Each structure stands twice: as C-alpha cells, then as structure tokens.
Amino acid sequence: MLERVLMTVLILASLGAFALRARDLVGYLQLGKDDDRLPQHWGQKIKEQLVVVFGQRKLLQWTIPGVMHFFIFWGFVILFTTIVEAFGAVYQEGFHIPLIGQWGPLGALQDFFVVAVLAGIAVALAIRKIQRPGRFRGSHLKEADYILYAITGIMLTILLTRAAEISLGHFPYDTEWTPVSASFAALFDDLSVATRDALDTIFLWWHSLIILGFLVYITYSKHLHIITAGVNVLFTSERPKGALKPMYIDIESMSEDDTFGAAKLTDLTWKQLLDGMTCTECGRCQSQCPAWNTGKPLSPKLLIMDIRDAMFEHGPVLLEAKRKGEDAFKEAVENLPDLNPTVVEDEVIWDCTSCGACVQACPVNIEHIDTIMDMRRNLVMGESRFPKEMQSALQSMETTGNPWGQPPQARIEWMKGTSKQEPLEIPHISEAPDAEVLFWVGCAGAYDDRNKKVVYDFAKLMQIAGVKFATLGPDENCNGDPARRMGAEYIYQMLAEQNIELLKENKVKKIVTICPHCFNTMFNEYPQFGGTFEVIHHTEYLAQLVKEGRLNPAGAMDKKVTYHDPCYLSRHNDVWEGAREVIEAIPGTEYGELHRHGHNTFCCGAGGARMWMEENMGKRVNNDRTDEALASASDTLAVGCPFCNIMLSDGVNERKAEDKMQVRDVAQLLLQSIEFAPSDEPSSNGNGSNGHDSNGNGQDYPATEEQEEISGSAKGPGDPGTT
Ligand code: SF4
Ligand code: SF4
C-alpha cells in the first residue's frame, strides 16, 4: 500500500513539474510575434509527418547516424507500452495492457527494440566519443551524454524487470516471443523466490524513477525536441522553398511601434522561437554550411542555439512582466538586449549565402534563413547598419534599377554581340504580340561582360530553334533578389511591383531566364505581390528544344564535363535535369558529377546578396567549390547561373588553372556543338547547317570567337565586391 502511495506522489510531482515547465515554455512562445501557420494543405502535412517524423527520412540521409536515430525514435514509440506496463505493475501484480498486453508479437517487438535501442546508443556513443565529428562543435555534449546514459538505464531496467517477471511467472507474454528477456531470466534461476521478488521491485522502481526524472529533465534540455519536433514539422512553412517570408511595407500606415524585421527577441515569431526549442544540436546544418566550412563565424546551429539560450534567459523576466501588465511588459522589452550584436554578432548575419543547405539538412525542419533575413531586415531598414560595400548596389537598385548602376539603355548592348558577331534583332515584347516566350535577361546577363556572351548565345540558340521570343529591352529592372536578400525589403517591393505591372501590361504568360535568382524570385516570390507567371530556366528550356528536335547538337566535343548546380535552382527549386540532359546530348562529352551535386550542391558564394559583399574571413567560398571542381577528372565546368559563372571563373583564374579547366554556361556548350556540327547535319529545325566545318571525328573544337574573348569579366560602376 505504502509503495502505491509513494509512487502516486512521485508521479503527480513529476507530472506537476512537467506541466509547470510546459506552461512556461508555451508562455515563451507567446512572447513571439504572430505567424499565420495554420496548415492549408492537410494532405501534405500528413505526408510530412509520416515521412519526416515517423519515417525519419531527413535523418536517414546520413546512413549510420540515421539508422541509429531511427531505432531510438521507434524504440521510444514501441517501448512506451513497457512504461505503461511498469507503472501498472506497481499497482497490480501481473498487470497487462488491455487487449494487446498479452499479444506475443507486441512482446517480440518490445524485445527487439530494447536491443535495437541499446545498439543505437552504442553507435551514438562511438560517434560522439571516438569519431567526434566537427558538427558537434559548440553543442552541449555533456547533456547529450546524460540523456544517452539515462536511455541506457531505461533499456537495462526494462530487460531486468521483464527477466524478473518471467522468473516469477508474472510476465504477460509467452516467452517464446521474447527470447532476449527469457535469456536474461536465466540469471535468476538460482535465486529464491523472495530474492527474485525483491529484485523485481528494485528494478521496477529504478526504471520508474529514471522515467519520471527523464520526463522533467527533457523539458530543460535539448531533448525537448522529443516533444516539439512533430509540432515544428507540422507548422513548417508552406511557402515554396525558395521564397522568403513576405513582409508588406506600407510606410503611410506604419506607427512608431512597428519594427522592420527582428531587432529584439520579441520581434521573432512564435515559430522562430519554437525552432530554438526544437533544435537537437545535431550540427547537420553546420556541417553543410558554406560559411562555416570556409572558416566564417556563421554556424546555423549556433545561431539557433544562441536565440534559444536568449529565450530561456530572458523568458522568465518577460513572462513575469507580462503578468504585471502592458506597461511593465513594454519596459521589459525595451530592456532586452538587441538581437544583433548582443545575441548574434552582425558578421554572422552577413555571412549567409541563403543557399538553403542548413534548412535542407535539418531533421526537424528548422527555418534558419527566415530568421537570418529578419535580422538583416532590421539591420538595413531599422538601423542602417550593414557592410559598407553594399551601399552602392543598394543605391543603384533604387536609382537605376540594377545593382551594377548602369543606365537602362545599356541593357540591350549584348544584342550587338562582339566585333566578330552579327548583331541580333530581338523585338521588344510590346512589338511582338505573337511571342511564345519573354526572355528575361537579368542584370548580370545584361551588364556583366562574361554573361553578356552567355545571353547572346542563348538568344542565338532560340533563334536557331525558331522560337518566337522578345525581351523587355531597357524596361527590364532588377528582379529584386539582391535587395531582398540584403534585407532592403522596401527596394525589393518597389522593384517587384514595377516588374509585375510591366509584365502584366505586356500580357506576359511565359518567361525564360538564364538566371536562377530571377527564376526563383519571379516564380516563387512574385505571387506574394500578385504576379503569377510560368517561368522556366534556360537549361530546362534548352533541354526541351533539344528533345523536340528544334536544336541538334551534332558537333562532337571531346570534353570531360562536370556541372555545378546553382543553389537557387537545384536546392531551392528541385531543377537539375535539364542541364545534364543538354550536356549528355552533346556528342563526345564525358559527363561526371561533382561530389556535392543536385540537392547537395555547394554554394558558389554569391547567393544571399553575398555577390555585393566583401569576403575577408577564412577561405573564399568560390575557391572551395573551384578546388572541388579542379580535383575532379573534368576539363570543363558547366554552369547554369550568371553569378556562379562569375564566381567560379574567378576561382579558376585565382587558382591559375585556366589551362586545366574552362568554365562555360550550358548554353555556350550547346551552341558550340551546334556551330561545329558536320556540314551535312541539320543544326536546327529546318535552319540547316550554320556553315562551320567540322572534322567530325570527336576532337575538341577551338573556342568560338566570343568565347576567346572571355578572359575575365569587365567591371563597371557598382561592381560586386567579390569579383
Ligand atoms: S543558408 Fe547556407 S550559408 Fe546561410 S546559414 Fe544556411 S547553410 Fe549557411
Ligand atoms: S538546426 Fe537542425 S540541423 Fe542544425 S543542429 Fe539544430 S536540429 Fe540539427
């Protein structure tokens, strides 16, 4: 009787402590700003729960730690039944769960998962103590150890309790189903019944006390994710992956209490605070981050942990103030330290290339980029504090509509071609009502000399294929991506609204662009401002033209080609096949993947508006990627993004490896193959050969005239700091 009373008191105390802590944690979340995250697509949400939470898909991308976590996770689910049995046994000898509690397969599953969890713990300890991967740098390692020891204790006491019960004849399952527990029961064979009974009680209490302590401890530890992960996944953004959190700025209706982005902890949304509570400190994000991997201070893991630590530090004071009333709360918020640089250093915020590797790697769907961009928004719009080299690009976007600071009329200079090329006649969209597609050139394509040649070649390919297309000529503006990723949302909003109006005025339905940033912004972000268009990247478009037979790459090239996937295409938009299809359609090319490719590509260093910022710390990101390409067996690095083109060409130049590797846009390779097609091969749909002769024996062809002129990117006013 005393035993039951004592256990009841302990259970109530533990549940009480858990409930009080849970109340505070919910209170901390309520300190955050509102964020309308009510699921809109339940089918998708259910799928995510099944795949990400129960299927552990993101964890399983890393096989050994993934399988280890899979067993521990499912061990917790299945072995919850043993916890119920243990507490039940305190109150009733021979207790079993109604309906399923004597079902052999359940007993077998329990036995299996005890062993699987113990094996998982052994692997986890080996990873942490022997392998010691860098991703754990900065994580609370001791805390993780305590949890692993506690889980080990829970598993061992399950086994011992089951063994004691078998030896006493209280076990609810047929032991044929539970060979592991049955073999442990043999340990008790020589003991008296009284001793077995005493041991059963000791193991049962030992087990129950660990469980009750664990229940409270997890709410104060990083293992809070056991409770919050499913919720965090449920409220994952339903925006397209490449779209930033919208922010509608209407200066006239703003009050002085309104803030731009996140200045204080309370400017973050409840979801961003929940991200902090959910972080498992696994460091997968950190291990994939180009900034961290090249020696910058930014670690997406540490950023999230710092915010969480600040929430736990200031949360109690804020909650107390909230209880006292509005004025007290306002004062407490004013007294909060600024997020930047007190909680997170400014440098950390500017290091991000917005590549999305962290978000993709995170097993619990934490959204680092939104938080980083909210802090950038505050620094730029609230405090005017940002890297000084950004200034000219920002001003240029505001005044000339492009970060290069070039006049609008210069947007069409690429159509003239080089001195040895024929000028291209391309109509303005307003004069081409029958255009199949609008060619959105983009600022890099229009103003950067290296990319002007890509744009020219792509336009030439469309002409060869007989595509009816037009451009916006000098009326095109920057799509706004650099302004938005810099945190200057008001400039982005201005550019986006102008462009959407222009596109609608000209009744544009389908857009093709060579720039993944233009592609992402127009496809994923313009709908936030009422502009919905069909947008296709030029690599996909070219693949389609080749498939339809409108382009015929018949000239063999004898090149070993690899392809660098742009983050804004492959990771943010799942687009990667077109480029490969085009390259593989070119005769004589031998294609090989870079180690990091597709979803797992590595940033070139220009994304997140890093193109317009200096990179003074650590190894340059573009050099890291270039080194990877140079270490491959390829002699040609194909690209599908004007910014990657600039960054990786610069990397090759910096490594003085121009003889070893050429950087070429996919369109340039395709045109080269078509131009050097054997004369009896039609180069296009009905256009016939272009007149170039080819030896047709698969040997490499000389670079085209325009490619010979590509020796570096000419720079103009507003040049990116990174080139
Ligand atoms: S988006 Fe890329 S650069 Fe930014 S924190 Fe994540 S992994 Fe690092
Ligand atoms: S943010 Fe995600 S990936 Fe990074 S440490 Fe936390 S749980 Fe792991």
Q: What is the structure's pLDDT at 255?
A: 73
Single pTM value for the model: 0.90
Ligand nearest to the CA of 373: 1
Q: What is the structure's pLDDT at 631?
A: 97
Handedness of CA 147, 150, 155, 158 (dihedral sign): negative
Ligand 2 atom closest to 284 (CA): 3
Give residues (CB < 6 A) around ligand 1: 288-291, 298, 300, 352-358, 368-369
Using the mean position of ligand 1's atoms as its centre, give its distance from the Cα of residue 338 in Å.
Answer: 22
For the stretch 505-537, pLDDT in tens is: 999 999 999 999 999 999 999 999 999 999 999
Residue whose CB lies within 8 A of the most ligand 2 atoms, among 73, 224, 280, 293, for a mutation test: 280
Using the mean position of ligand 2's atoms as its centre, give its distance from the Cα of residue 281 in Å.
Answer: 5
Q: What is the structure's pLDDT at 680?
A: 58
For the stretch 310-346, pLDDT in tens is: 999 999 999 999 999 999 999 999 999 999 999 999 9
* pLDDT beyond 50 at 472: yes
Query: Do residues 377 and 260 touch, judged by C-beta distance below 8 A?
Result: yes
Rg (CA), the chain: 31
Ligand 1 atom closest to 359 (CA): 6
For ligand 2, atom 2, name the residue with the nearest CA: 362
Distance CA 489, CA 486 (A): 8
Q: Cis before residue 720, ω within 30 degrees of 0?
A: no
Banded pLDDT at 2 (limits 50, 70, 90): confident
Q: What is the structure's pLDDT at 253?
A: 75
Mean pLDDT across 289-295 = 98
Distance CA 449, CA 241 (A): 31
Helix 63-91 and helix 141-168: axis angle, to 10°? 50
Ligand nearest to the CA of 285: 2
The DSSP string of 476-528 is ----SHHHHHHT-HHHHHHHHHHHHHHHHHTT--EEEES-HHHHHIIIIIGGG
Q: What is the structure's pLDDT at 713?
A: 37
Q: What order do you get walking across the sheet with 437-440 strand by strand?
A: 469-470, 437-440, 510-513, 534-537
For the stretch 49-103, pLDDT in tens is: 999 999 999 999 999 999 999 999 999 999 999 999 999 988 888 789 999 999 9
Ligand nearest to the CA of 300: 1
The DSSP string of 436-449 is SEEEE--HHHHH-H
Residue 336 phi, psi (nearest 5): -65, 145
Banded pLDDT at 693 (limits 50, 70, 90): very low
Using the mean position of ligand 1's atoms as its centre, give its distance from the Cα of residue 718 in Å.
Answer: 25
Which of the pair, 254 or 232, is modelled with greater confidence? Answer: 232
Mean pLDDT across 18-41 = 95
Mean pLDDT across 347-352 = 98
Q: What is the structure's pLDDT at 681?
A: 54
- What residues are paired with 563 via a beta bridge? 638
Residue whose CB lies within 8 A of the most ligand 2 atoms, among 226, 288, 301, for a mutation test: 301
Spatial CA neighbour of 178 closest among 130, 109, 128, 115: 109
3-class DSSP assignment, residue 367: coil
| Residues counted in the chain | 723
For the stretch 579-594, pLDDT in tens is: 999 999 999 999 999 9
Give one word for 103, left, alpha or beta, with left for phi > 0 and alpha for psi -120 to 50. Answer: beta
For the stretch 61-72, pLDDT in tens is: 999 999 999 999
Which of the pair, 33 or 683, is modelled with greater confidence? Answer: 33
Mean pLDDT across 127-143 = 93
Q: Picking from 75-89, 219-233, 563-577, 699-713, which range would have the lowest pLDDT averaged per residue? A: 699-713
3-class DSSP assignment, residue 413: helix
For ligand 2, atom 3, name the residue with the nearest CA: 362
Give residues (CB < 6 A) around ligand 2: 279-285, 300-301, 304, 361-364, 366
State the burial class of residue 708 (Cβ atoms within 10 Å of its Cβ: 0-12, 13-18, 19+): exposed
Residue whose CB lies within 8 A of the most ligand 1 atoms, among 305, 348, 369, for a mutation test: 369
Using the mean position of ligand 2's atoms as its centre, give its distance from the Cα of residue 126 in Å.
Answer: 20
Residue whose CB lies within 8 A of the most ligand 1 atoms, among 287, 298, 624, 625, for a mutation test: 298
Biggest distance spanned by C-alpha atoms of the chain: 101
Using the mean position of ligand 1's atoms as its centre, give its distance from the Cα of residue 423 in Å.
Answer: 41
* pLDDT beyond 80 at 689: no
Using the mean position of ligand 2's atoms as its centre, give its distance from the Cα of residue 283 in Å.
Answer: 5
